[in-house]
Amino acid sequence: MKRKIFSLLCCTVLLTSTLPKEFVKAEEEMDVVPIKTEVQEEIMPIASAPNEAEKGATPQQLEKALIAVRSKIDIPEELLENFEYDYQEASLYSQAQWSFLWSNDNRKITVICDKDYHIKSYSDDVYNQGQTRPVYLKSELESVAEEFIKRVLPDIASSLQLSESNFTNFWNGCYSFIYERVEQGILMPENTVTIQVNAATGKVYRMNSAFIYGIFVPSQKAVLTAEQAAKKLEKDDVMQLVYRNFYEKDPKTKEFKITAKLVYIPKDSYRSVDAVTGEVYTERIYDRYYWDINNSVSDKAESAEEGVGGSNVTLSEAEQKEIEKLGKYLSKEEAVAKIKNNPSLYLEDTLTSIDASLKKQEDYWGNDIYVWEIRMSDPTKKNDIWLDSGEIDSYRAYALATINAENGNLLAFSSNIRSYYDGYGLSIPEKKYTMEQCKQTAEKIVKANLNQLYKNSRLSIQEEGAYVLNRDTKKDVYGGYEFKYVRVNEGVDYPYHFLYITVDAVSGKVLQFDYNWNNKVTFESPKDILSVAEAFSAYMKTDKYRLIYEMVNADSENSLQSSMTPTVRLVYRNDLTPAAISPYTGEPVQQNGAPIKKTEQYSYNDIDTLEQKRQILLLADLGLGFEGQNFSKDQTITAKEWIALAERIFLVNSNQSDNNAETISRQELANWIIQDLGFEKVAKLQGIYTTGFEDEGTISKEYLGSVALIKGFDLMTAKEGNKFQPTEKVTRLEAVELFFKLLDLKMASNIR
Cα dist from 455 to 17, 365, 438, 521, whole Å = 24, 15, 19, 18
Pairing relationship of beta strands 204-209 and 410-415 according to DSSP bridges: unpaired
Strand partners, 178: 164, 194
Is the pLDDT at 718 greater than 60, yes or no? yes
> Per mean pLDDT, which range of 28-32, 289-293, 648-652 is the poorest?
28-32
Residues in the chain: 752
194 with 207: CB under 8 angstroms? yes
Choose one of 205, 222, 249: the last residue of a domain. Answer: 205
Q: d(Cα 673, Cα 422) in Å, to the nearest integer?
A: 69
Spatial CA neighbour of 284 closest among 33, 554, 43: 554
Q: d(Cα 610, Cα 16) in Å, to the nearest integer?
A: 54
Considering the domain boundaries, does residue 197 fall inside one? yes
> Per mean pLDDT, which range of 254-258, 330-334, 458-462, 625-629 is the poorest?
254-258
26 with 110: CB under 8 angstroms? yes
Kind and range of the H or E run holding 232 = helix 226-233
> First-to-last CA distance in the chain?
49
For 194-206, the pLDDT digits (tens) are 999 999 999 999 9
Give the three-state DSSP class for 588.
Answer: strand
Report, as an integer, the average pLDDT of 178-201.
93
694 with 665: CB under 8 angstroms? no
To the nearest whole number, what is the mean pLDDT of the chain?
77
CA 460 to chain centre: 38
Strand partners, 103: 108
Cβ within 8 Å of residue 612, ≥6 positions away? 633, 733, 736, 737
Instruction: For residue 368, report the phi and psi dihedrals to the nearest 5 degrees.
Output: -75, 130
Choose one of 157, 174, 205: the last residue of a domain. Answer: 205
166 with 147: CB under 8 angstroms? no
Q: d(Cα 581, Cα 594) in Å, to the nearest integer?
A: 10
Burial class (CB in 10 A: 0-12, 13-18, 19+), 680: middle
Considering the domain boundaries, does residue 82 fall inside one? no
For 355-377, the pLDDT digits (tens) are 889 988 877 777 788 999 999 98
Amino acid at 713: F
Does pTM surpass 0.75? no
Q: d(Cα 356, Cα 87) in Å, to the nearest integer?
A: 9
Considering the domain boundaries, does residue 384 fall inside one? no
Considering the domain boundaries, does residue 148 fall inside one? yes
For residue 623, give its domain range: 613-749
Q: d(Cα 547, Cα 573) in Å, to the nearest integer?
A: 7
For 372-401, the pLDDT digits (tens) are 999 998 888 766 666 656 666 777 889 999
Burial class (CB in 10 A: 0-12, 13-18, 19+), 470: middle
181 with 191: CB under 8 angstroms? yes
Percent share of the chain, pLDDT over 70: 69
| DSSP symbol at 564 | B
Report, as an integer, the average pLDDT of 579-599.
67
131 with 170: CB under 8 angstroms? yes
Cα dist from 377 to 93, 374, 556, whole Å = 11, 10, 19
469 with 493: CB under 8 angstroms? no
CA 446 to chain centre: 35
Q: d(Cα 84, Cα 318) in Å, to the nearest integer?
A: 9
For 119-148, the pLDDT digits (tens) are 999 999 987 666 678 899 999 999 999 999
3-state secondary structure 647-694: HHHHCCCCCCCCCCCCECEHHHHHHHHHHHHCCHHHHCCCCCCCCCCC
E strands present in 504-540: 510-516
Cβ within 8 Å of residue 453, ≥6 positions away? 364, 446, 487, 499, 515, 517
Considering the domain boundaries, does residue 77 fall inside one? no
Considering the domain boundaries, does residue 743 fall inside one? yes
Work out the number of other CB atoms within 10 angstroms of the CB of residue 491. 5
Choose one of 171, 205, 239: the last residue of a domain. Answer: 205
406 with 422: CB under 8 angstroms? no
Amino acid at 57: A
595 with 77: CB under 8 angstroms? no
Spatial CA neighbour of 355 closest among 96, 16, 23, 100: 96
468 with 475: CB under 8 angstroms? no
Work out the number of other CB atoms within 10 angstroms of the CB of residue 614. 12
Q: d(Cα 215, Cα 556) in Å, to the nearest integer?
A: 19
Please report how many Cα atoms fall inside a 13 Å half-sphere around the Cα of residue 456, on the Cβ side.
15
214 Rama sector, left if φ>0, alpha if ψ -120 to 50, beta otherwise: left
Percent share of the chain, pLDDT over 90: 31
Report, as an integer, the average pLDDT of 461-488.
74
The total domain count for the chain is 2
Q: d(Cα 17, Cα 28) in Å, to the nearest integer?
A: 14
Considering the domain boundaries, does residue 355 fall inside one? no
E strands present in 429-557: 457-469, 476-489, 492-503, 510-516, 545-552
Torsion angle in degrees (nearest 10) through CA of 336, 337, 341, 346: 10
Amino acid at 78: E
pLDDT band at residue 13 under the 50/70/90 scheme: very low
Q: d(Cα 409, Cα 339) in Å, to the nearest integer?
A: 10
Helical pair 613-621 and 732-749, crossing angle rounded to 10 deg = 70
Report, as an integer, the average pLDDT of 589-598.
67
| DSSP symbol at 445 | H
Cβ within 8 Å of residue 143, ≥6 positions away? none
Considering the domain boundaries, does residue 542 fall inside one? no
CATH number at residue 148: 3.10.450
Report, as an integer, the average pLDDT of 661-683.
87
Strand partners, 246: 259
Amino acid at 15: L
Is the pLDDT at 293 greater than 60, yes or no? no
Spatial CA neighbour of 336 closest among 746, 52, 679, 632: 52
19 with 26: CB under 8 angstroms? no
For 70-126, the pLDDT digits (tens) are 999 999 999 998 999 999 887 766 778 999 999 999 999 999 999 899 999 999 998
